[in-house]
Amino acid sequence: MPPVQVVKNTAPAAQERPSVVFHYLGIIRQRLWVFLAVVLLGLILAYFYTITRQKVYEATASLIINPEEIRVLGNKADDVSFLGAGNYWSNQEYFNTQLSELVSFELLTRTVKAPAQDSIANPPNLEPIFKRLVPDDGLEEQQRIREATELLEKSVMVSQDPESRVFFVRVSHPNKVLAADIANRHVATYNQFMRGVKTEGSGNLQEFLAAELESLDELIGKTNAEQYNYRKENGLLEFELQEKKSHLADRIGYYSDALSKAEAKRKELATLRAQVRQLEKRDVISSPIFGLLERTSIANNLKEQYFEEKRKLVELSQEFGPKSHEMKEQTKKVSEVKRMLTTEAKLLSNEVDQRYKLAAANVRKFSDELASLRKEEIDFDRKRVGYVVLEQKRKNLIENKTLLLSRISTTGISGRNTRTNIKPHNRARVAVQVYPRPVVNMFLALFLFSGIGFGVALLLDFLDRRVKSAEDLEQATGVALLGVVPGIGDIDADEQQLGQRDLYVHENPASHIAECCRAIRTNLLFSATDKKLQVLAVSSARPREGKTTMSIYLSTIMAQSGQRVLIIDSDMRRPRLHRSLSVDRKLGLSTLLVGSSTLEESIKASGVPNLDVLPCGPQPPNPAELLLSKRFNELLAQLRKRYDTIILDTPPVLPVTDAVIISKSSDGVLLVAQAGNSIINEIGQAAKALKDVDARIVGTVLNKIDVNKKRYGYYYYQYGYGSDEETPKNKAA
């Protein structure tokens, strides 16, 4: 049984595109030598920079700073130093103050001037720091001290451990021994400085407290005199203030109560007076005015007498008549009784008025007395407040004096205590190199110059206007990409093996390249659904971009599918088909166009079944004129009747106009570009030139690509049965 053939297929652009990461990796792979050169240059520069730098060593000494020092007298004696108040923020403020103090110019000056107590040098160097830092070049001692202090300002750094009370003093210097000695001496100087601050503060405080005590004694004497004079001037010497206050309060209470009662009585009489005034308007006989003051007995007697006389008047009127003498006398008696009742009512009204006036007078009297007492109370309170202020001032002065006496006693004891809140922690025993840092420098250089190398690679790739991907070709031409064709290794580069390369599809029908060409043929058929694509012109922007090879590949693939195919070498300036297909070119397209040969004489068999070739013929001096002739179109019309497909291998578009002329006579143009060789701008100009004459560009082909590079936008796969025949490039690998 013969082996089963392998059918190799090519995945078109519809398949998954490579990621951005792979795209950039592809750029680095192409420009790997640039990337590596930049990185290597960076590492060399970093190395020479590192070895030429002066070495700097850092020594670290540590100390502990407590926010409060030990109180030898307990809670009754406060420390005289200005320490933290006890909470986190106040403690942190104190620590920050000490950080500033540790790097102050004054303390650094003390450090460089202080005589040495010890040294890690062998033998120990006990010279002052300024003599070891600044050489004696005729400078005065003060000048050397100042220069040494300025050097320390740049080389001393102090920091605090955020989780503890430990402070670190770091000193950088080219001399490792001197760096350690400076760190240790600075810690010792700071401790001595704080001890001096405490001792000096205690002495100053004692002097201050003594002066304050003398001043307080004077103030107490003055305050006592002010109190006496104040009481004398305000009449407060005869009695105690509290007794006077109580007496006034009692009197005010008494008159307030009396005023309330008088006011109530006045209101009661005012009501009674109003009722009397109202009843006076009524007839005295029927008026109840006498009942208001309980005067009913007299009024009742008079009323009974009135009614009796009135009855008698009625009887006399019946007996003697209204004009009789008896009637007149009796009428006088009735009137007299009524007058007596009226007089009694008037007396009652006058009595009510007198009682009301007396009540109102009592209200005014009590009110005036109460107002006088209140005014006296306000005046007394004012005087009393002034006296209380003086008394409180005197008490405060006495309390301050007591406190001062206590502080004078405790400050003397505290001043004799030489312990501070500073405790040395670790001495600097050895200094470590901190500059330069070779490993860090090399890593930084590697990182930095890797980025620079990547940027240079991207820049070169951006400046490289060659077609590198399917997207580049599609964007440049504005038409669809029909397919890609891989390269075939060393054969592509060998000019002596052009025939072997051009017939590769014929000799290797199951290869990757053949499968790619079949995909291009299929895409051509799909692109020609509205118009039959019988005459296809194959061209490129510039020479040596693979158009002739692509013409032969497509012709072979179409012939293998059973079509009768004719390939015409219409490049009458640099013809090549006769060499690739090993045919004679004495008779060909040029002789047909000038009428010196027939089709049967000019068309040759190619050696590929179903594929004939029309070579160029002798090179004419005027190819463009021949292609523009009516004879060329008539020739194509004759060939259309004989062949299913005609492929025209045309000259490049940009150097000459032949391809543009031929495109007008063809059914479509296939533009070929070579990956890594064709220029994007040129392929775009070629497409524009064809479009300007309304030529139909059916698509583009990207050839000679590296199938291992995903940046071209395509993946390849194999599918079939039988042996898998590899390309020469893969075989070589």
- 494: CB partners within 8 A, 6+ apart: none
What are the phi and psi torsion angles at 6 (to 5°)? Answer: -100, 125
Rounded Cα gap, residues 31 and 567, in angstroms: 40
Q: How many of the other CB atoms lie within 10 Å of CB of 274?
A: 12
Q: In the predicted model, is pLDDT for residue 657 greater than 70?
A: yes
What residue type is 185 in one-letter code?
A: R
Q: Within the chain, what is the greatest distance between any pair of CA atoms?
A: 197
Length of the chain: 733
Cis ω for the linkage preceding 123 (within 30 of 0): yes
- 3-state DSSP call for residue 168? strand
Q: In the predicted model, is pLDDT for residue 603 greater than 90?
A: yes
Rounded Cα gap, residues 326 and 403, in angstroms: 114
Position with higher pLDDT, 603 vs 307: 603
What residue type is 606 in one-letter code?
A: S
Q: In the predicted model, is pLDDT for residue 4 greater than 90?
A: no
Q: Average pLDDT, stretch 382-400?
A: 78
On whether the CB atoms of residues 220 and 394 are closer than 8 A, the answer is yes
Instruction: Give 641: exposed, middle or buried? Use CB within 10 Å, 0-12, 13-18, 19+.
Output: exposed
Position with higher pLDDT, 237 vs 720: 237
On whether the CB atoms of residues 176 and 430 are closer than 8 A, the answer is yes
> What's the pLDDT tens digit per position in 416-426?
666 778 888 89
On whether the CB atoms of residues 361 and 274 are closer than 8 A, the answer is no
| pLDDT, the chain, mean | 80
Rounded Cα gap, residues 708 and 489, in angstroms: 12
Beta strand 611-614 with 604-605 is antiparallel
What one-character DSSP code corresponds to residue 595?
A: T
Instruction: Give 31: exposed, middle or buried? Use CB within 10 Å, 0-12, 13-18, 19+.
Output: buried
- 566: CB partners within 8 A, 6+ apart: 603, 611, 612, 613, 614, 639, 642, 643, 645, 646, 647
Question: CA 472: distance to chain centroid?
Answer: 40
Q: Average pLDDT, stretch 40-49?
A: 92
pTM to 2 decimals?
Answer: 0.50
Q: How many of the other CB atoms lie within 10 Å of CB of 224?
A: 13
> What's the pLDDT tens digit per position in 665-707?
999 999 999 988 888 899 999 999 999 999 999 999 999 887 6
pLDDT at 723: 36
pLDDT at 412: 60
Of 627, 662, 633, 667, the closest CA to residue 536 belongs to: 667
pLDDT at 512: 87
Rounded Cα gap, residues 503 and 514, in angstroms: 11
> What's the pLDDT tens digit per position in 307-329?
777 777 777 777 777 777 777 78
Q: Average pLDDT, stretch 96-124?
A: 84
On whether the CB atoms of residues 466 and 676 are closer than 8 A, the answer is yes
Q: In the predicted model, is pLDDT for residue 724 greater than 70?
A: no
Q: In the predicted model, is pLDDT for residue 552 greater than 50?
A: yes
| Helix 512-527, helix 547-560: angle, nearest 10 | 80
On whether the CB atoms of residues 404 and 208 are closer than 8 A, the answer is no
pLDDT at 203: 58
What residue type is 68 in one-letter code?
A: E
What one-character DSSP code corresponds to residue 75?
A: G
Rounded Cα gap, residues 305 and 311, in angstroms: 10
**649 DSSP β-pair partners:** 538, 569
Rounded Cα gap, residues 374 and 500, in angstroms: 136
Evaluate the CA torsion angle 389, 395, 400, 401 in order and state its sign: positive
Residue spans of beta strands (DSSP E) within 637-708: 645-649, 668-674, 697-705
Q: How many helices (H) and strands (E) does the chain have?
A: 25, 15
Of 215, 264, 462, the closest CA to residue 362 belongs to: 264
What are the phi and psi torsion angles at 498 (to 5°)? Answer: -60, -40
| Top-ranked range on mean pLDDT: pick from 244-253, 380-389, 661-670 | 661-670
> What's the pLDDT tens digit per position in 328-347?
787 888 788 778 877 777 77
Of 368, 360, 364, 313, the closest CA to residue 336 belongs to: 313
pLDDT at 727: 43
Q: In the predicted model, is pLDDT for residue 395 greater than 60?
A: yes
> 725 falls in which pLDDT band (50, 70, 90)?
very low
Residue 154: HSE in the Cβ half-sphere, 13 Å Cα cutoff: 7
Lowest mean pLDDT among 1-15, 261-275, 297-311, 544-558: 1-15
Of 729, 186, 209, the closest CA to residue 492 belongs to: 729
What one-character DSSP code corresponds to residue 515?
A: H
- 3-state DSSP call for residue 33? helix
> What's the pLDDT tens digit per position in 189-248?
998 888 877 666 565 666 777 777 778 888 888 887 777 777 777 766 555 666 777 877
